[in-house]
Structure 1
Amino acid sequence: MTMTYFTEGQSVAEVLGRHGPNVDERLAEVFGSLVSHLHAFAKEVVLTESEWEVAISFLTRTGQLCSDQRQEFILLSDVLGLSMLVDAVNHRRPPGATDSTVFGPFHVDGAPVRAMGDDICLDGKGESCLFTGRVLDLAGEPVDGACVDVWSDNADGFYDVQQPDEQPRWNNRGRFLTGPDGRYEFRGIKPTSYPIPDDGPVGQLLGQLGRHPYRPAHVHFLVTAPNHQRLVTHTFVAGDPYLTSDSVFGVKESLVTEYERLDDQEVQWRCHFDFVLAPDDPGPEGALGA
């Protein structure tokens, strides 16, 4: 048996050669590629020990900030463009289907199911907006029984989970179930631009890179329906100054939406957007741990 040892030139082979005989095939593929790219990166930049220590400290502090209310690692993935890339390679939409974008860290399961036309703004702040539209299939037919799960920041740029002692629970959140006409309608507020949490290591990294932390004004949607692919997307406010410099790269041109000013004392704006769902196609299982 030939004895081999770790060397700079054989680093990848040595690490991968330590795997046991019954490793999951997909895990071996992903981990092998990760090790190969990490080692190539370290060799390419000639990573110094002090730089490696800074990186370990950065990752440690990132993990220490994670909680039920905050996911600093998701923010890191977002600002690196990795979240959008993973979304892109996993959700290649057929022509005509609504584009997806990043899920974000502020979705909460179990938002109340509300009646069509209900107001999801519970804190009384912001400019009232009427949101209308339809959920359609690729043939343009309405989708009955679709669930339109919506959430957004308040007028100050914060989600309710960021201010649990200041905002009412479920503020600017709700789920709406479509009928045979596929229509949805609710009242909320015209969203505002806001910075991602930038008081932690990810925010410090953005500052060092000369990047701002702002996201353009948007509303989140999760649209689900039987026999159709789940759609995670946003609609963005046309004319927002951060559309082309979104800190998490989430903007797609097809999702930029006009907000119509209304001559109404109670509702100042209207936003209409139709969601087009792709048919369900689960495809081959390939996720780690599946």
Structure 2
Amino acid sequence: MATHGGTKAIIAALTANAGIAVTKFVAFALTGSSAMLAEGVHSVADSGNQLLLLLGGRRARRLPDEEHPFGYGRARYFYAFVVSIVLFTLGGLFALYEAWHKFSDPHPIDAWHWVPIAVLLAAIVMEGFSLRTAVRESNLVRGKQSWVGFIRTSRSPELPVVLLEDIGALLGLVFALFGVGMTLGTGDGRWDAIGSAAIGVLLVVIAVILAAETKSMLLGESATPRDVAAVRAALVGEGVESVIHLRTLHLGPDELLVAAKLAVPAAASAADVAEAIDAAEVRVRAALPITCVIYLEPDLRHTRV
């Protein structure tokens, strides 16, 4: 299931985007601004994306069965990948199309001049609240990592997705505010089109980043270097001389598959080996905060001449 912090960030983003979408569409209906329409569709796409992340967390909670013996934890990765597709098509490509359409037939904002400015400023405040929630929840698990490192190495997709969406939303609002402000100041509707185009390019870039990161998760990522080191250290103990080789794979954000071949003493009895393997499993589970599926194979380390 989604982590508590991830769920809290998703709900905060969903609440903000749903309210913002309504006000943006009202502003578009009153002014005809293409930037407002692009931003309205952007907020609808973001709201749908948050619903997808919540659905992914729910689907991931299903118990293992005969067809999926390791469970459904990767459902969270799949729905995060769908989010990138929605952001690319419904958000980015639509904004680029609207920019092209407005550039072909530019027209100024003739009425309700204050509406888009007021809506965009209010939206910036609401998106800022959503981003603040995502940053606060991310800081609880980020540790000393940089933000780029956190997004690239996090095995839980919800917080990085919400972070990128919120950052994209805030930048998109700034672009829309620039386009609308320049259109109101100059009477040239092409500035509105430029604002829409900037929003479209921004969303396409974010969607590509999300797709690349979630694709890697779907293909199967190992544990983080820190967790691999912790597992390797925990495996060695009484009855286990060293780790011959170790493989890890995330079955989901909160579940890790550990497979290792361990060097045991040549003179050890079968009972001693079994006891050493059981103890190694206990040490690994104590070393990591997530669920582990562990397969350990005892062997002898052969010295090659």
Q: TM-score, normalised on structure 2? A: 0.22
Q: TM-score, normalised on structure 1? A: 0.22
Specify which structure has the higher proportion of helix: 2
- Higher-Rg member (1/2): 2
